[in-house]
Each structure stands twice: as C-alpha cells, then as structure tokens.
C-alpha cells in the first residue's frame, strides 16, 4: 500500500485560483496530488485519530476573506472544514473563491464598505470611517459591489464547512486532546483550536459587550453515538477577559496572539503566543517612519502551558 503525507498549500493556482491540501507519496515525493481543494487560506490542519468520528479526513481551519485588495470583502467568516477525498479518489471541493462558508460570495452581507486596504481606495484620513476620498469610496461601492464571481459555475458539488467562526478570527492551530486531558467539559475526541485574531483589514464584527473576536483557544466536542448525524458543540476554553490585547492596551498579560496549540507527552496543551503589537490606529498598524507593520512589543511573547486539574 502506498503511504502518503499531506502538504498544506496556501498559494493560489493560476489556472483555477484555488487553495488546496495536497498529498505526496513518501516513496516518491515528486508525485503530488490534490486531496481537497476550494479553500481561501487553509492555515491549520490536523489528522484525526483513527477511532474519531472524523477519521479518514483532515480537519482544517480556514482563514477567510478580508476588506483589502482587488476583491475586498467585508464580514466573511473563517471556517472549520473537513477535507476528505471523494469515494472515487478525486478531491472534494469546498466552494472558494465564490462561496464564503455557507453563502455565495455575491450575498450582500459580504459587500465591501470601503477601507484603506482596498486597491481602489485613495487614502484620506479626514474622511472616516472608510479613510478613503469620497470619489474613491464611490468607485469601490460601484465597481466592487456586489462581489463578482471568479468561476462561471462550481466545478464540483460544494462541501459545506463543519462550522464557521467570526470574521478575522484567524485560525492558527488545531489538535486533538489525549485521554489524559479528558475531564469536565473536555470529553473524549475533543478538539482544541487557537485563534490569533484580527489584523485590522476589516472592521470589528462583534458589537459590545460581545467579546473581541479571536485571541483565544476554543473547544469542540463531537457526538460519539453510532448511527447518528455528526454534531459539533463549540465553546470557549481559554481566553483573555480584559478586551483586545493583540495591540497595546493597559493590560497585555493574557492571550495576545496564540499561534498554535499542541499537546505534549505530559498530557498538557502548549500554546505559543506571538505577543502584543504596536498600533498607530486607523487600521495602519505601523508606528514611526521606517518601521514595518505589526511590530511586536518586546517581552510579551510567551508559551502558555495548560494542564488538567
């Protein structure tokens, strides 16, 4: 039997403008084949255990579309997807670039509202909230609304996501809990996933007092009952409780930007955290002449260790 490893591909394919999970034979690494495709940015992937309800597939966290570039999009969700080949061995298709989660990209809920990261924007800081000149904002709302389809029609039937997250949640890592971690709300087969949070390309889509999107670790329980439909239960697991700590705030001692979550041989979860970053406001995330964007605050990057009590 041929043995394969999976390769995460996040670049765009020139022919079909697609993101895909690829596979390659270990005995012949140059033999690269598509396993699953139709993703915008599959950033976090993990193989389920062989006795898990998702066995045979790959769990993938997808970072969704932003209000930027030549196809600006507002409010598109991030997605939790199950990549799985079709029975005939062909890759299953998950809808991108013309479907954002459960909805077509042409839905009005995704219409851009104008922002300084849009290609058509001519920056004008005196014209909030878009930060674009009135003429360029009108051009965005005329030429980029609605969001135009890229493909004439879906090339295959579309596989829907397992679940969606808030816009700009930014999946960064996924892992399945070991038996030693099972206690309380953490049941056998649970998944933990980390969310880095937004980068300011789109406005926040949570209304106070709702918490800031991202900057946390969440938990997913799966039903284990035989002959029943797959059921997901998603809940908060570990998060900061003092607001948006991804940028400089009075309190930066909680989760800032979790980059991954992995279980160690001791049965504990380890979460590397990039730390807080400077922010000049107005979606610039650049501080001072000569500085790049998203400059880290020294001393805020840490590795969190989470163990069962």
pLDDT in tens, 253-308: 778 889 999 999 999 999 999 887 765 444 444 444 555 555 667 777 889 999 98
> Per-residue pLDDT for 14 more than 90?
no
> Per-residue pLDDT for 210 more than 70?
no
Question: Is the bond into 146 cis (omega within 30 degrees of 0)?
Answer: yes
| Tokens 């090339």 sit on residue | 155
Question: Is the bond into 264 cis (omega within 30 degrees of 0)?
Answer: no
Kindly report which listed range (81-95, 134-148, 198-212) carries the lowest average pLDDT score: 198-212
For residue 47, give both structure tokens: 């193989």
pLDDT digits (tens, 9 = 90+) for 20-63: 888 888 888 888 888 999 999 888 899 999 989 899 999 999 99
Q: What percent of the chain has pLDDT over 70?
A: 79
100, 73 in Cβ contact below 8 A?
yes
Residue 44 makes CB contacts below 8 A (sequence gap 6+) with: 60, 61, 171, 172, 173, 174, 193, 194, 260
Residue 24 makes CB contacts below 8 A (sequence gap 6+) with: 4, 5, 7, 30, 31, 32, 33
Q: What percent of the chain has pLDDT over 90?
A: 52
Q: What is the pLDDT of residue 246?
A: 52
> Per-residue pLDDT for 87 more than 70?
yes
Mean pLDDT over the full length of the chain: 83
For residue 10, give both structure tokens: 């996040």
How is the chain split among helix, strand and coil, in percent rounded to 5? 5, 35, 60
Q: What is the pLDDT of residue 116?
A: 87
Element (H or E) spanning 216, and its range?
strand 216-222
Query: Would strands 262-263 and 28-39 be described as parallel, antiparallel, or unpaired?
Result: unpaired
The average pLDDT across 9-28 equals: 64
- 17 — pLDDT class (breaks 50, 70, 90): very low
The average pLDDT across 190-207 equals: 78
Residue 273 makes CB contacts below 8 A (sequence gap 6+) with: 255, 256, 257, 258, 259, 300, 301, 302, 303, 304
SS3 273: strand
> Per-residue pLDDT for 108 more than 60?
yes
Give me the torsion for CA of 94, 98, 100, 102, rounded to 10°. Answer: -70
Q: What is the pTM of this model?
A: 0.84
For residue 151, give both structure tokens: 């493909």
Question: Is the bond into 54 cis (omega within 30 degrees of 0)?
Answer: no
pLDDT digits (tens, 9 = 90+) for 127-179: 988 889 999 999 999 999 999 999 999 999 999 999 999 888 899 999 999 99
């Amino acid at each position: 039997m041929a043995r394969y490893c999976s390769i995460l591909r996040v670049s765009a394919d020139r022919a079909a403008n697609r993101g895909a999970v690829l596979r390659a034979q270990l005995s012949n690494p140059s033999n690269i084949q598509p396993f699953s495709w139709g993703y915008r940015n599959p950033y976090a992937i993990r193989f389920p255990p062989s006795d898990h309800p998702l066995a045979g597939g790959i769990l993938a966290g997808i970072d969704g579309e932003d209000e930027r570039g030549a196809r600006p999009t507002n409010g598109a969700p991030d997605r939790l997807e199950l990549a799985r080949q079709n029975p005939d061995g062909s890759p299953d298709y998950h809808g991108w670039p013309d479907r954002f989660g459960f909805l077509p990209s042409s839905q009005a809920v995704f219409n851009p509202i104008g922002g300084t990261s849009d290609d058509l924007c001519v920056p004008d800081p005196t014209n909030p909230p878009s930060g674009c000149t009135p003429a360029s904002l009108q051009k965005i709302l005329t030429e980029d609304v609605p969001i135009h389809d890229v493909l004439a029609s879906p090339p295959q039937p579309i596989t829907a996501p397992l679940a969606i997250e808030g816009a700009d949640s930014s999946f960064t890592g996924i892992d399945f809990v070991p038996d030693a971690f099972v206690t309380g709300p953490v049941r056998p087969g649970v998944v933990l996933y980390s969310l880095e949070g937004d980068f300011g390309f789109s406005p926040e889509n949570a209304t106070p007092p709702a918490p800031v999107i991202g900057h946390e670790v969440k938990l997913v329980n799966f039903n284990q009952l035989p002959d029943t439909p797959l059921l997901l239960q998603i809940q908060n697991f570990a998060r900061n409780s003092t607001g948006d700590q991804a940028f400089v705030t009075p309190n930066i001692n909680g989760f800032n930007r979790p980059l991954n979550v992995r279980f160690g041989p001791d049965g504990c979860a380890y979460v590397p955290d990039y730390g807080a970053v400077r922010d000049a406001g107005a979606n610039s995330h650049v501080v001072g002449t000569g500085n790049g964007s998203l400059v880290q605050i020294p001393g805020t990057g840490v590795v969190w260790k989470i163990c069962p009590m």
